[in-house]
């Protein structure tokens, strides 16, 4: 999937239980719901509940409002709260920490990393729960 400013690549890893989403380019989190729909489709198609979002080659544009609304938006678009989400970033900023807190406070298991291997390990160790 691609737009004029960014591209999204998907891959399955580690026994095909972890869906890896790689964003490249300029991604505006405040204005793009097509990407969320595609992620939800991939999760459903592959039957996974573990998602690794690789933002290391992405210039992520966001806002406090977009971060706060994102968990509700992804839930409404078909990404269940039983999905365990790891985000790999070039650095962990205050905005990233805030987004991590918001996701966790709204029922998702989400953690931010700068190390890809650590993110994979965290996803592998996590137990999934039934959505309530």
With a pLDDT cut of 70, the percent of the chain lying above it is 89
Task: Flag whether pLDDT at 120 surpasses 90.
Answer: yes
Task: Flag whether pLDDT at 54 surpasses 60.
Answer: yes
Task: Flag whether pLDDT at 2 surpasses 50.
Answer: no
Domain 6-125 sits in CATH at 3.30.750.24
Query: How distant, in Å, are the alpha carbons of 38, 129, 131 from that of 29?
Result: 14, 27, 25
Please give the model's pTM, rounded to 2 decimal places.
Answer: 0.86
Q: Which pLDDT does position 14 carry in this prediction?
A: 63
Determine the average pLDDT of the residues in 65-80. Answer: 89
Q: Which pLDDT does position 13 carry in this prediction?
A: 85
* CA angle at 102 for the pair 16 and 32, rounded to the nearest 5°: 65
Q: Is the dihedral of CA 41, 70, 9, 6 positive or negative?
A: positive
Determine the average pLDDT of the residues in 5-29. Answer: 85
């Amino acid at each position: 999937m691609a737009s004029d400013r960014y591209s999204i690549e998907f891959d399955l890893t580690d026994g095909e239980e972890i869906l890896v989403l790689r964003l490249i380019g300029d991604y505006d989190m405040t204005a793009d719901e097509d990407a969320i729909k595609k992620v939800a489709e991939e999760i459903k198609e592959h039957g996974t509940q573990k998602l690794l979002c690789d933002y290391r080659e992405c210039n992520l544009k966001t806002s406090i409002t977009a971060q706060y609304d994102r968990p509700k938006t992804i839930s409404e678009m078909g990404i269940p709260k039983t999905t365990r989400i790891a985000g790999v970033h070039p650095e962990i900023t205050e905005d990233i920490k805030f987004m991590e807190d918001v996701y966790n406070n709204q029922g998702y298991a989400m953690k931010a990393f700068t190390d890809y291997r650590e993110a994979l390990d965290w996803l592998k160790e996590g137990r999934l729960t039934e959505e309530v």
